[in-house]
């Protein structure tokens, strides 16, 4: 059987979407798959490390500027280039990742009659919108699904897709994210790490993610402010970079909690952050299925998160608590429950670890993608 030629396309080349794509490139069987990747270099300052890893795994990698925001002229130019590239290469599969690339690469695949077109949204764009824009972007997704063979979704993305009639249930392929934990270290020098971060308290609560509207760090900070009124000897971490960093720093200074809410920026050594963390908090307004939840549970941290479709992974009182979005009082109350009960923290952390190990197999994640791509030897 000849190797199956796959083109992966991604505009949102950072965070979880980039991690997801790296996992596929590095772990798909190179004897079965001939991989090409097109990435935009607009989101991240440097993609050198990720590109080297992909090339090491025998993938061809091209960078092509794609704008994050809608820009009619630049978007049209990017689309034409992608259509031209697909036309010059006889791909068996085009697999588009994230919203903008999802449109560009699916159109290019359809125009060039590529046999199999696959799309992973990494959270549908319309999930982030309200009012008329939710209707507009869900309509666009509905149209694009007509030229798509399969849409790979997490549990809550599947619910959103069916609720807004994005496609038939038959097109929705449920493959939840998973993590190759062989790449994750366990650190024991907790006090040394705390000292390097400027942490002077015993208990540490943290959140990890880009400093954007989506993650709703404002609610996180106000929840921290409430908790600190009762438990002043706790440190909150905000780990990540993004356009809201200055605004968040201004807010913590305004609330006079800058010594207890530390905005520490992006960290390559994220395992060290989990090592010092006692409770993980996510205040996101919308998500697909973020890797940070799996990471936190792998490191046996109880989770306090917003209730945006995580009921299949977080069970109240077992491995965490779910709170309404933007409700900093409820989030603070849930954090305080865990602070007040160290044994509950430990029990919940252990339960979360069991959930990850039993239900989110990395080997299954890769195998299900391979089976989908092979499609009963249709490319032999």
Alpha helices in the chain (DSSP H): 15-27, 48-56, 72-88, 99-111, 131-145, 155-163, 190-197, 217-230, 245-254, 270-276, 291-298, 328-339, 342-359, 362-374
CA distance 307 to 285: 9
Asked whether the domain spanning 183-359 has the same topology as the one spanning 4-178+361-374, the reply is: yes
CA distance 183 to 268: 13
pLDDT for residue 69: 85
pTM for this structure? 0.89
Torsion, CA 86, CA 88, CA 93, CA 95, rounded to 10: -30
Tokens of 135: 């209707």
Residue 182 in contact with residue 213, Cβ under 8 Å?
no
Give φ, ψ of 282 to 5 degrees. Answer: -130, 120
- Delimit the domains of the chain by residue range: 4-178+361-374, 183-359
Q: Hey, which residues does 35 pair with through a beta bridge?
A: 6
pLDDT for residue 5: 97
10-residue mean pLDDT series, the chain (380 residues): 92 88 96 95 83 95 89 93 97 96 97 97 89 94 97 91 95 93 87 94 96 96 98 97 95 98 93 96 92 95 94 91 97 98 96 94 95 74
CA distances from 231 to 54, 138, 222, 254 (A): 46, 44, 14, 19
pLDDT for residue 174: 93
Tokens of 95: 């697999």
pLDDT for residue 378: 63
How open is the CA angle 161-162-163, to the nearest 5 degrees? Answer: 95
Mean pLDDT of the chain: 93
Residues 310-322 pLDDT 10s: 888 999 999 999 9
Smallest Cα–Cα separation from 299: which of 335, 264, 345, 237?
345
- Nearest-Å Rg of the Cα atoms of the chain is 21
How far, rounded to the nearest angstrom, does the alpha carbon of residue 38 sit from its chain's CA centroid? 19
Residue 304 in contact with residue 335, Cβ under 8 Å?
yes
Q: Hey, which residues does 261 pair with through a beta bridge?
A: 236
Q: Give the 3-state secondary structure of residue 295.
A: helix
Residue 112 in contact with residue 39, Cβ under 8 Å?
no
pLDDT for residue 351: 97
Fold classification of 183-359 is Rossmann fold (3.40.50)
pLDDT for residue 289: 87
Residue 319 in contact with residue 45, Cβ under 8 Å?
no
Burial class (CB in 10 A: 0-12, 13-18, 19+), 177: buried
- Other C-beta atoms within 10 Å of 317: how many? 11
Residues 6+ apart with CB under 8 A from 164: 126, 138, 141, 142
8-state DSSP, 126: G
CA distance 282 to 305: 5
Give φ, ψ of 343 to 5 degrees. Answer: -65, -35
Task: Tell me the CATH number for domain 4-178+361-374.
Answer: 3.40.50.2000
pLDDT for residue 190: 92
pLDDT for residue 311: 86
Tokens of 237: 């971490």
């Amino acid at each position: 059987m000849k190797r199956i030629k796959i083109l992966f396309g991604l505009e949102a080349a950072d965070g979880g979407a980039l991690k997801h794509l790296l996992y596929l490139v590095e772990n798909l069987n190179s004897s079965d798959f001939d991989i090409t990747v097109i990435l935009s270099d607009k989101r991240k300052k440097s993609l050198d490390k990720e590109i080297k890893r992909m090339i090491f795994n025998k993938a061809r990698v091209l960078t092509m500027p794609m704008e994050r925001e809608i820009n009619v002229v630049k978007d049209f130019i990017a689309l034409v280039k992608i259509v031209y590239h697909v036309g010059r290469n006889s791909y068996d599969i085009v697999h588009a990742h994230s919203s903008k690339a999802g449109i560009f690469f699916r159109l290019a695949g359809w125009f060039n009659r590529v046999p199999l077109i696959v799309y992973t949204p990494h959270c549908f764009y319309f999930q982030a919108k309200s009012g008329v824009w939710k209707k507009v972007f869900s309509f666009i997704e509905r149209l694009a699904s007509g030229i798509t063979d399969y849409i790979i979704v997490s549990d809550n993305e599947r619910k959103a897709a069916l609720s807004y009639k994005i496609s038939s249930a038959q097109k929705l392929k449920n493959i939840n994210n998973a993590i190759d934990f062989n790449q994750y270290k366990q650190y024991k020098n907790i006090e040394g790490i705390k000292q390097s971060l400027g942490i002077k308290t015993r208990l540490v609560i943290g959140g990890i993610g880009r400093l954007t509207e989506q993650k709703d760090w404002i609610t996180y900070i106000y929840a921290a402010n409430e908790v600190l009124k009762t438990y002043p000897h706790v440190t909150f971490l905000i780990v990540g970079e993004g356009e809201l960093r200055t605004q968040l720093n201004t807010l913590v200074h305004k609330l006079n909690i800058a010594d207890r809410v530390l905005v520490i920026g992006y960290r390559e050594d994220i395992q060290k952050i989990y090592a010092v963390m006692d409770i993980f908090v996510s205040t996101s307004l919308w998500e697909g299925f973020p890797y940070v939840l799996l990471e936190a549970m792998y490191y046996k941290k109880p989770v306090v998160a917003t209730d945006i479709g995580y009921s299949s992974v977080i069970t109240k009182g077992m491995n965490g608590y779910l709170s309404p979005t933007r409700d900093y009082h409820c989030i603070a109350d849930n954090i305080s429950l865990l602070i007040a009960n160290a044994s509950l923290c430990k029990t919940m952390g252990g339960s979360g670890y069991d959930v990850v190990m039993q239900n989110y197999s990395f080997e299954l994640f890769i195998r299900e993608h391979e089976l989908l791509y092979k499609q009963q030897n249709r490319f032999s």
